[in-house]
Amino acid sequence: MKPSGSISRRQFIRSTALTTGGLIIAFHVPAGIRKAAALTETSLFMPNAFLRIGADDSVKVLLSHCEMGQGIWTSLSMLIAEELDADWHKLQVEHAPADTAYYHTIYATQRTGGSSSLYSEFDRYRKAGATARHLLVQAAANRWKVNSNECRTENGYVISGDKNVRYGELVQEASALPAPADVPLKDPASWKIIGKEKIKKLDSPEKINGKAVFGMDVHIPGMLTAMVSRVPVSGARVIRYNEAAAMAVPGVRQVVKIPTGIAVLADDFWAAKKGREALKVQWDLGEASHLNSDSLLTELKARADKGGTAATNAGNPDETFSKSKYKLEAEYYQPFLAQAPMEPLNCTVQLSADKCEIWTGTQTQTDDQRAAAQITGLPINKVFITTCFLGGSFGRRNITRSDFVREAVEIAKATGKVVKTVWTREDDIQGGMYRPAFLHRFKVGLDASGMPVSWKQISVGQSVMTGGPFEKVAVINGVDMFSIEGMQTAPFVKKIKDQKIELNTPTWPVLIDNWRAVGLSHTIFAMESLIDEMAYAVKKDPVAYRRMLYKDVPRLLGVLNLAAEKSNWGSPLPKGRGRGIAAYEAVASYVALVAEVSVLKDGSVKVHKVTCAVDCGLAIHPDGVVAQMEGSIGYGLSTALYSEITFKNGQVQQKNFYNYPILRIHEMPEVNTFIVPSNEKPGGIGEASVGQMMPALTNAIFAATGKRIRNLPIKKVNTGTA
């Protein structure tokens, strides 16, 4: 029998496809788009849901996924432009509306997440471009009365002999042709856009000049700004609040109680904020008032002592452990974390009797539609969502329960007003949806060669997937595979005959959800710290030891060796400096990082350099891959060094960047990224290297100081000299 919870992210995607009805490739053009286009355009070629070509030669790509900094605005467009032979400089991009045509090919809802956009769209977007090209060629061939195989395409033209015609001139004729059932895709050898170094991001110019529209920038005539007094723990209840005081603030228009708290509606942000402060809401925190970080940690440890549900259970690990040449026991703790995207949450809603219009930055359009439909009683197809640029997300806008959209719709319903909710930074840091705190405890026996031969593990932390859309696939026999993501599936762990991996899943009133890399955000730290400890325990070089562990995993071995080579692993370092490595598979890609650090006298950590080797399969937009590696390294460093959400009597202690610090420019190391050339299917990128950064850093601190860090955040290293 297959052990429960024993699936990787790749297998998760496959299993999800099976439960959602298989890979969906819908090419129909949504009726709403057809209608809207008919009103504004006299001549438009819409070969499928993803592409519109205008008589003016404009080529517009519609993105089923959202742009939050990960770069799909560009990389998905590259797939279409390549097959279409479009003029790259004439490409326009916009977020698609919420519609079944834009359902994720695997998740069967419109959703961006799991670093899956290129993985899942590689074929569909190329086919969308190829289909359009086929029709344009056919239209030109008909016009010239030649065979279509006598025509070729280049940079927005169909060409045959000395004749050529712009795509824009063909839109009416092409629109009249029947769509082909299937079209061949280009031979990768002939690609001019995919995989090319020089491609610049299509959204950079408007993000640089300030014209890009984020959800926060939406303005609808008559709109009021709403701010909600809410608590970040579930089960809390309002006791009293001073509505009159809030209403007395100039500019405040209305105060209304909604399920998540008390909303103040005002002419602008400032009045809403002052009105909210005047409310002076008193809360009964209920059960949540007992939440304290110290006692939560105590409970994590007690639960680890108690054991949990077995994810794997084979042989006799205790007996093998007792006979092992080397024995190692270690425990790693990682705290609750906030995503803290730069753009605080916001959502604009205009509700009328027959429709609900929503403007926001979201990763989960279909879930949001369903939530709004449920609240308003409208059918789902009367909920219209305009997806704006997301000012970062890192999972905060990929929330199981559509929290911030739901809340805005509740306010619109309760007041009848056009409303934009705006969260402050304090609301964001204290407003939940955290990465759960996790404790991973190991007892490992190693043979004379250093290979692990017995493995006992207990992991303790809340389940992210329970209660969400992927529960059926991700939670198997009580084991949320994301809680131990990449651990039980690690290639060397799978081979250990004597093993028991258990999971204990507390249910606490802390609001948790997706956080960049989900389970891998904490499991890689535990695994790669442990592996490093195993290497030192058997007196092997950390890179040499991993070569042994991963000798049958060529792609992981590949990035390990490349990172070691490019970082000059093993070469002498100035006194006080150390190098640390971490290498792991994540979201169907492989990343190895080498950090070079020193620890200052006061215990603060200076990261000099990070070398990154990445094998993400085919790198569609290589500079975008490099950018994601750099950014993830910064994100991981922030997390390892500083990030921690703590509770005292039910209240979150952190409020803003002064006590939830984010890495700043002077703390950013030099990062050098090397991409392994590959023609494998594209893997994920946005979450592929966050998890490796934390252990690469702490492993380097160990190399530099001999101090092993098993609890995050590091804050300062206790060097014993300060």
Of 204 and 352, the one with the shorter C-beta distance to another protein is: 204
d(CA 404, CA 105): 26
- Interaction residues for another protein, span 631-670 (CB under 8 A): 631-635, 638, 656-658, 662-666, 668, 670
Per CB under 8 A, 389 contacts another protein: yes
Per CB under 8 A, 384 contacts another protein: no
Per CB under 8 A, 599 contacts another protein: no
- Per-position x/- string for 291-330, each x denoting binding to another protein as judged by CB under 8 A, each - no binding: ----------------------------------------
Taking a C-beta distance cutoff of 8 angstroms, is the pair 65, 112 a contact? yes
d(CA 388, CA 98): 12
Helix 554-566 to helix 542-549 angle (10° resolution) is 160
d(CA 427, CA 34): 40
Among 343, 368, 403, 533, binds another protein (CB under 8 A): 343
Of 171 and 693, the one with the shorter C-beta distance to another protein is: 693
Per CB under 8 A, 482 contacts another protein: no
Question: Please, where are the H alpha helices in 327-402?
Answer: 365-376
H or E stretch including 215?
A: none
Per CB under 8 A, 341 contacts another protein: yes
d(CA 505, CA 309): 9
Of 171 and 349, the one with the shorter C-beta distance to another protein is: 349
> End-to-end distance of the chain based on CA atoms, in angstroms?
54
Per CB under 8 A, 221 contacts another protein: no
Per CB under 8 A, 491 contacts another protein: no
Closest CA to 507 of 549, 529, 554, 475: 475
Helix, strand, or coil (residue 592): strand
Per CB under 8 A, 337 contacts another protein: no
Per CB under 8 A, 69 contacts another protein: yes
Q: Read off the amino acid at residue 656.
A: N
Taking a C-beta distance cutoff of 8 angstroms, is the pair 528, 582 a contact? yes
Per CB under 8 A, 173 contacts another protein: no
> Rounded to the nearest whole angstrom, what is the least distance from the CB of residue 705 to another protein in the complex?
25
> Rounded to the nearest whole angstrom, what is the least distance from the CB of residue 339 to another protein in the complex?
9
Of 200 and 551, the one with the shorter C-beta distance to another protein is: 200
d(CA 661, CA 644): 9
Query: In angstroms, how far is CA 522 from the centroid of its own chain?
Result: 14
Nearest-10 Cα torsion for 550, 552, 553, 558:
80
Per CB under 8 A, 248 contacts another protein: no
Question: Please, where are the H alpha helices in 642-720?
Answer: 690-705
Of 82 and 427, the one with the shorter C-beta distance to another protein is: 427
DSSP state, residue 217: G
d(CA 86, CA 205): 20
- Per-position x/- string for 265-294, each x denoting binding to another protein as judged by CB under 8 A, each - no binding: --xxxx------------------------
Among 121, 480, 615, 630, binds another protein (CB under 8 A): 630
- Interacting stretch for another protein, rule CB under 8 A, among 45-53, 341-349, 482-490, 642-650? 341-349
DSSP state, residue 58: -
Per CB under 8 A, 363 contacts another protein: no
Per CB under 8 A, 691 contacts another protein: no
Ordered DSSP codes for 16-70: HHHHTTS-----PPPHHHHHHHHHH-SSEEEEETTEEEETTS-EEEEESSPPSSS
d(CA 455, CA 566): 33
Per CB under 8 A, 627 contacts another protein: yes
Q: Which residues of 678-709 are buried (b: 16+ CB within 10 A; e: fewer)?
A: beeebbbbbbbbbbbbbbbbbbbbbbbbeeeb
Among 27, 214, 384, 536, binds another protein (CB under 8 A): 214
Number of Cβ within 10 Å of residue 368's Cβ equals 28
Among 424, 466, 505, 639, binds another protein (CB under 8 A): 424
Q: What are the distances in angstroms from CA 675 to CA 76, 82, 621, 623, 628?
A: 19, 21, 11, 10, 12
Of 513 and 533, the one with the shorter C-beta distance to another protein is: 513
Q: What are the distances in angstroms from CA 7 to CA 475, 486, 488, 518?
A: 10, 8, 8, 15
Of 225 and 364, the one with the shorter C-beta distance to another protein is: 225
> Rounded to the nearest whole angstrom, what is the least distance from the CB of residue 714 to another protein in the complex?
18
- Interacting stretch for another protein, rule CB under 8 A, among 47-55, 81-89, 214-222, 579-587? 214-222
Among 18, 25, 302, 342, binds another protein (CB under 8 A): 342
Of 94 and 426, the one with the shorter C-beta distance to another protein is: 426
Of 215 and 650, the one with the shorter C-beta distance to another protein is: 215
Per CB under 8 A, 209 contacts another protein: yes
Read off φ and ψ for residue 209, nearest 5 degrees: -95, 0
> Rounded to the nearest whole angstrom, what is the least distance from the CB of residue 267 to another protein in the complex?
8
Q: Read off the amino acid at residue 55.
A: A
d(CA 262, CA 273): 12
- Interacting stretch for another protein, rule CB under 8 A, among 54-62, 119-127, 206-214, 500-508? 206-214
Closest CA to 53 of 158, 122, 133, 125: 133
- Interacting stretch for another protein, rule CB under 8 A, among 197-205, 443-451, 584-592, 612-620? 197-205
- Interaction residues for another protein, span 225-244 (CB under 8 A): 225
Of 336 and 455, the one with the shorter C-beta distance to another protein is: 336
Count residues binding another protein (CB under 8 A).
62
Per CB under 8 A, 210 contacts another protein: yes
Per CB under 8 A, 611 contacts another protein: no
Q: Read off the amino acid at residue 439.
A: L
Per CB under 8 A, 222 contacts another protein: no
Per CB under 8 A, 200 contacts another protein: yes
Task: Give me the residue label for tokens 């089923």.
Answer: 64
Per CB under 8 A, 94 contacts another protein: no
Among 166, 207, 355, 540, binds another protein (CB under 8 A): 207
Retrieve residue 293's tokens.
């970080």
> Rounded to the nearest whole angstrom, what is the least distance from the CB of residue 694 to another protein in the complex?
14
H or E stretch including 655?
A: none
Among 57, 87, 217, 680, binds another protein (CB under 8 A): 217
Contacts of 575 (CB under 8 A, 6+ apart): none
Taking a C-beta distance cutoff of 8 angstroms, is the pair 694, 517 a contact? no
Per CB under 8 A, 113 contacts another protein: no
| Residue ranges binding another protein (CB under 8 A) | 68-71, 200-201, 203-205, 207-214, 216-217, 219, 225, 250, 267-270, 340-344, 389-394, 422, 424-426, 623, 627-628, 630-635, 638, 656-658, 662-666, 668, 670-671
